[in-house]
Amino acid sequence: MRLNKFLSNSGLASRRKCEEFILQGRVSVNGKIVNALGTIVDEKKDEVCVDGKRLTLPSTFVYLKMNKPKGYACTASDERGRKTIFDLIESDVRLFNVGRLDYDTEGLLLLTNDGDFANLVTHPKFHFEKEYHATVEGEIKEGDLAVLRKGVVIDGKRMPDARVKLLSYDGKFSKVAVIIDEGQNHQVRKMFDAIGHQIKLLKRVRVGEVRLGGLSRGKTKPMTEEEIAFFKGIK
């Protein structure tokens, strides 16, 4: 098994994040530091450690969805001392988040200890749709929606187009549904900044066919077999 896959399947982090650990010289195999990404390990015999702690493969996999509150970082430990999503989880299993949400963004987040599953969900070739509900200051008019659908231009570069729909306007704030299938950093916030409207609240409500539903803020629940199968059935 490739070393990055072993690390990911142990529940350490996503496969790409595990590659960073290897390149940083934090991984040892049988007592020797290894920093070659193509390293092969025997999962039954070799002793693999990260920062001196031995990792083992789980006997069972866990798949959770969380309603992440704003004000929590998507990391196991935050260098700035902020609260993290793992402060909200009571589990004896080492889990990691599949993808991430900004500190000030709330909503649907997937967690697992299955590295192959995480790699599948986050792989760019599949372009899983992500749906957000943005509460935005001011009235969003049809002309604004047209610009967002076409793709706003930021620093001379056109952002990916998006499917957008005005859900409501209460005289002060507009609520807009935004569906994207390419994940760029702060993409939704940049879209509204570009048309002169600041986001008051941003919530992710769907990834692929997995929906947030009525899950309370800060809570987790197991994904259903159908939700797991949706991702595993796409190759």
The residues that are catalytic are: 102
The Cβ of residue 189 has, within 10 Å, a number of other Cβ atoms equal to: 17
CA atoms within 13 A on the CB side of 233: 8
Among candidate residues 44, 18, 11, the one with its CA nearest the CA of residue 115:
11
Tell me how far apart the alpha carbons of residues 7 and 182 are, in angstroms, rounded to a whole number. 26
Tell me how far apart the alpha carbons of residues 108 and 211 are, in angstroms, rounded to a whole number. 7
229 by DSSP, 3-state: which? Answer: helix
What type of residue sits at position 131?
A: E
Reported as type and span, the H/E element at residue 131 is strand 130-137
Tell me how far apart the alpha carbons of residues 116 and 9 are, in angstroms, rounded to a whole number. 7
151 and 160 Cβ atoms separated by less than 8 Å: yes
Q: Which two tokens stand for residue 175?
A: 């609520």
What type of residue sits at position 114?
A: D
Reported as type and span, the H/E element at residue 188 is helix 187-194
